Amino acid sequence: MKTILIVDDEIHICTLLTTILTKEGYKVDHSVSGSIALKMLKENSYDVIFCDYRLKDKEIDGSILSLRIREMSPATSIIVMTGYPDVRVAIQLIKQGIHDYVVKPLNAAQAILLVQKALLHQAVLAKEQLPPVNPLTVNPVSTYVSRRGQLSQFVYGMGNTSKELHTQIKLIAPTDYSVIILGETGTGKESVAHLIHSQSKRKDKPLVAIDCGSLSPELASSELFGHEKGAFTGAIQSKVGAFQEAHGGTLFLDEIGNLSYEVQTALLRTIQERVIRPVGSTKEIHVDIRIIVASNEDLQRAVLQGRFRDDLYYRLNEFTINVPPLRERKEDLPLFVTTFKQVVEDELGRECGPLSDDILAAFSNYSWPGNIRELKNVMRRICLLSSDKDPITSEHLPEELHPAPRELAVPVIAGEANLKNVTRQAEYQKILDVLQQVRFNKSQAARLMNIDRKTLYNKLHTLNILL
Ligand SMILES: Nc1ncnc2c1ncn2[C@@H]1O[C@H](COP(=O)(O)OP(=O)(O)OP(=O)(O)O)[C@@H](O)[C@H]1O
């Protein structure tokens, strides 16, 4: 029989939860004191412990109690209950290893579900220790509506870094906090923003995504705040900006670090006052939006270097999510591969052959500078090149994934004597070198080459460098 301990200084909560869970067939004990609870834990083992966060115990309060339980009985799932929810406390406790953080009062259905989830989680962990595990037996995949309006799959993964990401998204999504999402290119920052939106109470309103990296300084204000007809040369009609389009929903600003100082100032004002003034207009318009921003550079460093306003940073930084690079979550590769193979098969409208073991070995030896985007593209390529029956082998892999990676070959551009081509050739090589040096971080590459991100995009396009 599974055993549960309830620790709360309000006796009626102990009695209520004991009654509910005993009816479900669990053996339930309770304590109104943290120190007595620890003594009980020395003598008995518990599968799940419900623990009040603000325990009015002279010797031990709820937060310390949860730490002590972790030390004494690491396998026990701890569910911390609170009457005063605080996301930062929740994250801290979850980092310390508690299973869940819930707001009191709990009704019967919630309490039962919490225990079931905790026991299921324990069962999953127990299975994880038994090889071989099919990662798809527990499918940690969510769906969300992507920028193109398609239903997309988001793979959380099962490794510890991935689980932390999962927890953070789950906790932050229902709130209205502004979120900064940091991570290398292709790690899934935009996907995380969509996922947060789709799990928030704003989900039925639009998510408007703007790539600040591709906005010219002149057009940024107009894109964000809109403009009146005749506000500037070329403004032949008035335009509704992203803030207004996102009214009631979420505004996602990708590559926020690329906004000019002037636009950052206007953005700060809008966030503080929740009103916008379109370019060329005297009218203020109220907007109700949640802001999520992303960057693949460290925004704190940009603040220190004076490139990003500190007051805007602190306004936006109600919560930060760091999306890990793929090379730090290699344990999740099989799950990503299986999911993307299915996605590509759906895209191609046919099945692809099985993946041979050498493919997975090559995948796990590779550093994935382009992260999940690169993996998805590699899966597209190898599935496209394979037939539907024969196994997909390492022959189908692109060069950089071959066991002994060769240097990226510079294509010879026809007409070598032509001076323009010599320049193109040199540009091509330089851009590739710099991109490799900064692990394909386009903003950093643009900065190193002293060009803006938009120019870099144009060059990548002209030189046919596909990332
Ligand atoms: N966890 C995930 N599960 C499934 N697909 C993912 C996941 N993360 C990213 N992807 C896919 O990888 C690709 C790149 O993701 P996304 O655009 O969200 O990355 P990003 O970090 O915002 O990139 P960039 O910094 O270049 O803008 C997309 O096709 C997305 O669907």
pLDDT tens-digit profile of 187-196? 999 999 999 9
75 & 184 share domain: no
Whole-number Å distance, alpha carbon 186 to ligand 1 midpoint, is 5
Q: What is the pLDDT of residue 254?
A: 95
CATH number for the domain spanning 39: value is 3.40.50.2300
Whether 419 shows a pLDDT value over 80: the answer reads: no
Whole-number Å distance, alpha carbon 376 to ligand 1 midpoint, is 9
Q: Who contacts 334 (Cβ-Cβ below 8 Å, separation ≥6)?
A: 135, 360
- The mean pLDDT of 374-390, rounded to a whole number, is 87
188 lines ligand 1 (CB under 6 A): yes
The domain boundary residue, chosen from 277, 296, 322:
322
DSSP 144: E
Phi-psi region of 162 (alpha: psi -120 to 50; beta: other; left: phi over 0): alpha
Whole-number Å distance, alpha carbon 14 to ligand 1 midpoint, is 45
User: Atom of ligand 1 at shortest distance to CA of 442?
Assistant: 26
Q: What is the pLDDT of residues 219-236, one digit of tens each?
A: 899 999 999 888 788 888
User: Atom of ligand 1 at shortest distance to CA of 154?
Assistant: 3
CATH number for the domain spanning 437: value is 1.10.10
In a domain, 140, yes or no: no
82 & 167 share domain: no
353 & 317 share domain: no
Q: Which domain holds residue 168?
A: 160-322
In a domain, 35, yes or no: yes
Establish whether this prediction's ipTM goes over 0.90. Answer: yes
317 & 368 share domain: no
pTM given for the model: 0.62
Give the integer Cα–Cα distance in Å for 145 and 158.
22
What is the DSSP track for 153-187? Answer: EEE--SSHHHHHHHHHHHHHTTS---EEEE--TTS
Whole-number Å distance, alpha carbon 169 to ligand 1 midpoint, is 15
Both structure tokens of 365: 């030896």
Whether residue 105 has a cis bond before it, omega within 30° of 0? yes
249 lines ligand 1 (CB under 6 A): no
Give the integer Cα–Cα distance in Å for 180 and 319.
6
In a domain, 136, yes or no: no
Residue having the nearest C-alpha atom to atom 4 of ligand 1: 154
318 & 346 share domain: no
What is the DSSP track for 435-459? Answer: HHHTTT-HHHHHHHTT--HHHHHHH
The domain boundary residue, chosen from 270, 288, 322:
322
Whether 39 shows a pLDDT value over 80: the answer reads: yes
The domain boundary residue, chosen from 304, 322, 340:
322
258 lines ligand 1 (CB under 6 A): no
Residue having the nearest C-alpha atom to atom 28 of ligand 1: 373
Give the integer Cα–Cα distance in Å for 431 and 448.
10
In a domain, 36, yes or no: yes
In a domain, 30, yes or no: yes
Q: What is the pLDDT of residue 135?
A: 37
381 & 444 share domain: no
- φ, ψ of residue 203 to 5 degrees: the values are -60, -25
